[in-house]
Amino acid sequence: MRESVRISWSCVILHAVIINAVFAFNTAYAQYIQPDKNLEACQSSRIPCGGHTQASCSRYCVMVGYSSGFCDGSCCLCSNAPAAQIPTSINSQLGTGGSTTYINIGGLLVPMKQQGFASIMGGSLAQSYNLTIPTLATQYNHLKTPSISIPQTQIIGRDDIDNNDIIVSSSPGKEVCMSEACGSEAWNIKSQMDEKVDPCDDFHAFACGGFARNTRIEKDQTEVTQFTILRDKVASQLRVLFEENISPREAKPFALAKKMYKSCMNTGLIERLGFQPLKKVLKELGGWPVLLGNEWRSAPDSWQKWENLVVWFKELGLNLDYFMRISVEQDLQNVEKRYITIGEPALNINDEVMKRGLNEPVVNAYYKYMVEMAVQMGAGREQAKREMLDAANFEINMAKCFFRHAGTKSGNFYNPMTIKQMSIQYPSIPWLEFFQRIMPASLGITEKEIIMVSVPRYLDCFFELVAKTDPRTITNYGVWRVVSASVSYLHKSARSLQLEFMSTITGQKQMQPRWKECTTIVQTNLGNAAGAMYIRRYFNDKAKSDALEMVQDIRRAFLEILNENDWMDSYTKGMAREKAQEISVHIGYPEEHKSDAKIAALYAQFDFKENEYYGNILNLVSGAISSSFGSLRQPVKRSEWSTHGKNAVVNAFYLPLENSIQFPAAILQGHFFNASRPKYLNYASIGWVIGHEITHGFDDQGHQFDKLGNYKNWWAGSTKQTFDRKKQCIIDQYSSFKSHSTGLNLNGEKSQGENIADNGGIKQAYRGYEYWLARNGREKSLAGLNYSPKQLFWISAAQNWCTVQRDEILKHNILTGVHSPGEFRVRGTFANSEEFARDFQCQRGKRMNPVKKCSVW
């Protein structure tokens, strides 16, 4: 449903609105005049070219897609016509201009032959009217049209003549930025808002109501957010890179990325091969019992035991972690060393959902998926039902073995044992032989090797389960996990079954375009190669230096807030200060990504073929496992550059074992960052993200690690007790929030770390911006938005979390995720902020300014 408001425009119209209206309707000419006066009044105005120079008029016109622009008296006109056809004067009566008839609609001089306005306006050419203008964001799924209400403005002067900015004021003494960047930002912010909502009642609805109203989720999507919008842009950019031909002198990592992409896009071959590549692997595993029927046999000492399956998984380039997680990881208490670690595996469904059993709709859909896949691969339906039921119940019982501690103490997962001790504790497994078979022989594994057993209780439960389970069921489950992990790389009919099951979790209705799937595969598995390609083509280093300045301000803000708090003892506060100062920062990309040789060293063991997609995936997995296992004896380099090389990822990270924060190149654009716009928008958007990641170093888990990344208790007892009380306030606050579309309350315990980071991050970003103001002076506001720069800070920050989701994925995220839904990331965080309440003058007791507030950092 479209909504409209009455519009009153003055002689200097808001550039952002006019620009986007001209662009959206593809009109041929535009000018800036009073809607209630005729063309002669525009031409006789005392404001030359509507406030433009000839240069800025031309630049604006070219920016919105026209071939030229020119000043005609007080009007700035845009045209796609050749210069010879542009009227030299149109100061006659309204409605004529050369051989073309024009109509004046709200300050736009439109050729009558253009049908867009007349049909939308219903043929009415009244001087006072309702007008709805579509937003440029239609390319990002915004299909409805926001209403724009434009206040009366007055010219107060010109500033920054080199940039041709026009400064207007919507109230006495308030400067407004009219640069191209400001115009675009004003339009985007306005289009996402719903100003009918009281900002002191529901600020998320106020800031994002327009986004929710105007956004449609496509069938191949589960949600639309600022992150997904930007990820779509980055995917399109990567597609361009991956689809380019491989040159004879192409660096190996970039050639590998293109080969992987091309093999993924070779759908004709993939369809012809069907299940053949997978069945070849299953044959080497001894087959899938559900397919072989009575031909599959087992014996007590046969290689079909689960531990032997794991060895074969490793040999064939398959994931090892279907029965228990086996990896090489840093020692939590001494991050300069590595250990072999075993622990709980990753299941196909979140363990908390899985353990509910087949009465849970998602688990039941999973079982049906298992059956249909077995049938499609050749199993009889009744046999598939019986055997996959046993396999599903085995996985359900594995989920019941998962152990969840009350609290989040990393020390609960620190249980070193030698292989000799494991052999005594768990005698059913020949542990020494097992580790010698899966680890590189060069490591010389002996019974003295220390294994970090992260969850002993899982092993106890798992071995009890295995002891009472038929080997056929164990093998059916293990091979099923290989099958389910392979489906994404197979033909369409197999992937359709996968989508049908996943839709019960995500609500997604159809597959993504193939190019997008393939781009994701390459970006995910060849992150450094894709990242280097991306930054060399698309990244502006100005973003890197600007982001570093923000990090410095926001880190300073954290330190100042730390100094001001009155609940920490001096020792603990000093340790926290040292940790914050020690945080290493990775912005944009590592410098090594400018060197082909250094990137090539990461991919020396890989070799892909354009006609072997599934084989390329096995090559990738095998190489990754070999590299990880081979690092066991190697020294740990803190902040290894390759760890921070996935530059094309739209996200940000805090790594507790490094005490580092990372902001990849891909997130330093779009809604989150623009070097040309006012700094309050950058500090609000990417600045909040920066503060969020810094605060992760001091949240429910991060506070357990010291400045070097070691798990260490550096807290005085009384201060730790106060910390626990303060975070309990956050837990209780978010647990009280209820999602109306799902009827579920949030899990404040599970999401506490992210909520603490959100609350601390916005506070630091706001203060960081104040530091910038102290150095540089006040900034101009945005045209058409009758809000101060600090109010725009909060609006822009809230729009980080403008979100439209399918109910299925929202429910799943609430039940299993660690992040609160976007609505509550805004409502919860801003309700705790005294600065927000002050800037929006929210009375105490209003929903966005409650009497009781929670604060940790």
At 28, is the pLDDT very low, low, confident or very high (cuts 50, 70, 90)? Answer: very low
Q: Give the CATH architecture of domain 304-489.
A: Orthogonal Bundle (1.10)
Question: Which residues are CB-neighbours of 601 under 8 A, at least 6 positions away?
Answer: none
Q: Given a cut of 50, is residue 802 above it in pLDDT?
A: yes
C-alpha angle with apex 270: 628 to 296, nearest 5 degrees?
70
pLDDT at 77: 72
Q: Which of 18-27, 244-253, 486-495, 821-830 has the lowest mean pLDDT?
A: 18-27
Q: Are 418 and 446 in contact (CB under 8 A)?
A: no
Per-residue pLDDT averaged across 206-224, rounded?
94
Catalytic choice (185, 202, 344, 758) = 758
At 155, is the pLDDT very low, low, confident or very high (cuts 50, 70, 90)? Answer: very low
At 205, is the pLDDT very low, low, confident or very high (cuts 50, 70, 90)? Answer: very high
107: left (phi over 0), alpha (psi -120 to 50) or beta: left
Q: Given a cut of 80, is residue 779 above it in pLDDT?
A: yes
Q: Is 8 helix (H, G, I), strand (E, B) or coil?
A: coil
Q: Given a cut of 60, is residue 133 above it in pLDDT?
A: no
pLDDT at 106: 29
Q: How far apart are CA 782 and CA 786, in angstroms?
A: 8
CATH assignment of 540-590+645-839?
3.40.390.10
Closest C-alpha among 666, 670, 855 to residue 762: 855
The partner residues of 662 in beta bridges, in order of sequence, read: 586, 653
Catalytic choice (693, 700, 706, 808) = 693
Pairing of strands 68-72, 75-79: antiparallel
Task: Report which secondary-structure segment, H or E, holds 549.
Answer: helix 541-564
Question: Which residues are CB-neighbours of 679 under 8 A, at least 6 positions away?
Answer: 769, 772, 776, 779
Instruction: Count the Cβ atoms, other than its own, within 10 Å of residue 717.
Output: 10
Q: What is the 3-state secondary structure (H, E, C) of 111-178?
A: ECCCCHHHHHCCCCCCCCCEECCCCHHHHHCECCCCCCCCCCCEEEEEECCCCCEEEEECCCCCCEEC
pLDDT digits (tens, 9 = 90+) for 560-589: 999 999 999 999 999 999 999 999 999 999
Residues of the chain with CATH 1.10.1380.10: 304-489
Q: Are 165 and 677 in contact (CB under 8 A)?
A: no
Top pLDDT among 103 and 425 is at 425
pLDDT digits (tens, 9 = 90+) for 624-655: 999 999 999 998 988 788 999 999 999 999 99
pLDDT at 66: 56
Percentage of the chain surpassing pLDDT 90?
71
pLDDT digits (tens, 9 = 90+) for 515-524: 999 999 999 9
Q: What is the 3-state secondary structure (H, E, C) of 288-327?
A: CHHHHHHHCCCCCCCCCCHHHHHHHHHHCCCCCCCCCEEE
Q: How far apart are CA 552 and CA 558, in angstroms?
A: 10
Residues of the chain with CATH 3.40.390.10: 540-590+645-839
Q: Which of 47-61, 258-272, 747-761 has the lowest mean pLDDT?
A: 47-61
Per-residue pLDDT averaged across 240-251, rounded?
94
Q: Is 693 a catalytic residue?
A: yes
Q: How far apart are CA 343 and CA 456, in angstroms?
A: 8
pLDDT at 708: 94
pLDDT digits (tens, 9 = 90+) for 421-437: 999 999 989 999 999 99
Q: Are 52 and 71 in contact (CB under 8 A)?
A: yes
pLDDT digits (tens, 9 = 90+) for 817-828: 999 999 999 999
DSSP letter assigned to residue 97? B
Q: Given a cut of 60, is residue 42 above it in pLDDT?
A: no
Q: How far apart are CA 385 and CA 382, in angstroms?
A: 5
pLDDT at 647: 94
pLDDT at 448: 96
pLDDT digits (tens, 9 = 90+) for 456-469: 999 999 999 999 99
Q: Given a cut of 90, is residue 35 above it in pLDDT?
A: no
pTM greater than 0.75 (yes/no): yes
pLDDT at 74: 61
Q: Is 596 a catalytic residue?
A: no
